[in-house]
Structures are given as C-alpha cells and as structure tokens.
Amino acid sequence: MTFRAVMSGRARRLSSDLGARWMSTWWQSVEPAPKDPILGVTEAFLADPSPNKVNVGVGAYRDDNGKPVVLECVREAERRIAGNLNMEYLPMGGSVKMVEETLKLAYGEDSEFIKDKRIAAVQSLSGTGACRLFADFQKRFRPDSQIYIPVPTWANHHNIWRDAQVPQRTFHYYHPESRGLDFAALMDDIKNAPNGSFFLLHACAHNPTGVDPSEDQWREISYQFKAKGHFPFFDMAYQGFASGDPERDAKSIRIFLEDRHLIGIAQSYAKNMGLYGQRVGCLSVLCEDEKQAVAVKSQLQLLARPMYSNPPLHGALIVSIILSDPELKKLWLKEVKVMADRIIGMRTALRENLEKLGSPLSWEHITNQIGMFCYSGMTPEQVDSLTKEFHIYMTRNGRISMAGVTTGNVGYLANAIHEITKSA
C-alpha cells in the first residue's frame, strides 16, 4: 500500500470519527417531554387489568355501553362521498361550502354580517388549529398585546398562546366554594384590564368546569367589554353538544353580535358531529367591512401556508354535505340532541346516586353544570385514591368526563366517590 493510500485512509477515518462525534451531540440536550395529563390517564387505564376499571378522563363521547359512536348522518355523508369525489387539494382557506355552512351555525342563518361579507373565515385543523391560527395572527398584527385566559381553562389554551409567543394573563372565572361562576371577580378583572385587551371566552360548556354565565350575565359581560374596548375571542367546541340546541349554545356569541362587537370564533366538529379524528373546524374574524375581511382572510391564509399549506378534505366534505342537505341536517340535529340528553341524564343519575348514599356534601353542582365535563370539586389526593382503591381514572383536577358515565357504571362511580369524600 502506498504512502498516499495510507494517509487517505487515515483521513477518511478521522473525518468519519469527527462526523460521528458531531452527530452524537446534536440531540444530547433534548429531554423527554412531560406526559400530557389527559392522554396519560388513558394510558394508565389501558394498562390496568382490573375488570371494574372506569375511564372518565378523556373528552370523547361514548354511548351507554361505553362504545365510540359514529353518527348516522356521518355514515350517510360518507356513503355519498365514496367513489364520487376526487382527492385534489383544497384551497389554503379550505372548503368554501363548509365554511359558509359553519358561519351560519355561529352567526345565524340570516346573519347580516354574512350577507355583508364582513367575516374573514378559513377552515382550520379543528378548534385547536383555529385557536393557534388566531394566536399567530394576534402576535403578527398586535405584537404588543396579551391574552386574558380564564382560571381554569382547557390546558392546551396555555400551550397554544405560549407557543405563539403571546404573553398571557388570567382572569377569575370559577368559584371553588360554590362550584359555580365567580361573577363578581370576573367582572372586576374585565374592568381592571387595560383598555383594548384580548380575552379568551368559552362560548358554552366551559371546559373543564361545565360552568357557564347566565344569559343576563353574558349581557353584563358584553356591556363591560364594550365600555373597555376589549376584543372577545370565543372558543366554541361544544355547539349543540351542550344543551342539544345549537341556537341556544350560540347565545353568548349572538349577544355580543347584538351589541356590535367585532369578535373572533374558533369552531370545531369534533364533539358535535363526532369527527374527532378528522380535525375539521373553522376560524372566523368579524371585521369592519368587506374590504377589511378580504385583507384579514388573506393574512390568515398566509399564516396557514407554512404551517400545513392546505386543510384536510374528507372531514370538510362530511360537514358540508350534512349541513347543506335539509334532511341530513335535520338528522344531525336529532342525533346531537340524543348525545346531549344522554350526558344530561347521566348528570342526574350521578347526583341522585350520591344523594341516596347519604353523602353529607352537596352535589347539586353536578346538574347545574353543563356539557361534557363535571368539575367535581375533588382534590388531587382524592382522585389518586379513586384510582388506587377503585380503578377509576380521571384528571387530577377532579374533572369527570360525563361521556364515560353509563347506566352500567354510574352506581359504582357514585359509591366510590362517596367513600372517598364522605369524611372530607
């Protein structure tokens, strides 16, 4: 072997060693991410071999046998789609038809704002994607602003605005002692926030508490927002699913529209159509006029382009077919009411079972709250005991997903809660 060949081989080995050393340091600083508190509940539940185990942690609807549900209106929409439509890209703004029908649900079938083309709206990756897109829009065009978020709220709200680099403040919402709304403190926070602040509001079925303002309270909130020049951003994940009536569940938004606010709305079809895995939703921003709406929509699309380019097609087709067909829409309204009524019925059953057991505590908040979740008032330690002693799984803040409660397990759940809390 020549001297040149030997040196060349050494050089290659040295280069390889250096490259390997550099590559081995690229991700050394990466630590495992903390487990998602909700998804972690499901993992623990699945790993538990107990035949008595109950999962009331995850916010996905189940029937009275504890099984996932696909609505018949969805099945029919899919039958119509199968083999009849192409799989081309949607525009950056998504399905025009789906967005049109979605706006009618939120703003009203005969909304003047829709007729005047004052709403900038795009299809989003469900409600989470709508919130994130708005957070990025807020950061880009109001870079010095912050967002006021209720205490408590859906945990991912904090992640969304944090990752969009929008500073967060909080405002009072839940009153632990009454397990209801802390309305006086909420109003004080609205009044004391700097003029022109952004506020995140749950349109209905507040997650995780299930506590909503009354209609009169919403009117007072709207009035104070107007006086302070605040911008309301509504996250509406449960329209129709809360009360069984989409019009009733949109009442908070309609009050703000009556009072001539400019607003933003995140909408989702995960809960009310059971399209959890399809990730179909809508972000809308009500603007001063059509010209402003065109400009805002163009910027929302510009933000979406490097994120995901185009939204998914299949879920948008399902929604647009259901909502644009009078018979299918009628069927959907019937089916969403069945889901809501089952949840409401399980609230009544859980409360009645607890009261029959002679619980010394008041459980009326179970039926006063609304939507998928019951904020039980149990402590993290009590939740841990429920899991350890009774194999009942929920998030440690005491949030019960009523979707996981059935006629078959409600007695067992009530007895377990009674045993854990009777000496509290």
33: left (phi over 0), alpha (psi -120 to 50) or beta: beta
Whether residue 154 lies in the annotated active site: yes
Could you please report the per-residue DSSP string of 210-276?
-----HHHHHHHHHHHHHHT-EEEEEES-TTTTTS-HHHHTHHHHHHHHTT---EEEEE-TTTS--G
Cα–Cα distance, 394 to 424 (Å, whole number): 19
- The alpha carbon of 123 is separated from its chain's Cα centroid by a whole number of angstroms, namely 16
Over the Cα atoms of the chain, what is R_g?
Answer: 25
Of 139, 154, 297, 332, the active-site residue reads: 154
Catalytic-labelled residue, pool 136, 161, 212, 271: 271
Q: Identify whether 271 is a catalytic site residue.
A: yes
Q: Which of left, alpha, beta for 126 (phi over 0: left; psi -120 to 50: alpha)?
A: left
Task: For 4-21, give the DSSP string.
Answer: HHHHHHHHHHHHHHHHHH
Which residues are within 8 A (CB) of 419 and not within 5 positions of it... i.e. 6 or more apart?
389, 390
Q: Find where tokens 């006629």 sit.
A: 407
The answer to whether residues 157 and 237 touch, using CB atoms and an 8 Å cutoff, is no
- The token duo for 322 is 């259901």
138: exposed, middle or buried (C-beta count within 10 Å: 0-12, 13-18, 19+)?
A: buried
Choose, from 182, 189, 212, 235, the residue flagged as catalytic.
Answer: 235
d(CA 168, CA 66): 38
Annotated catalytic sites, by residue? Answer: 154, 235, 271
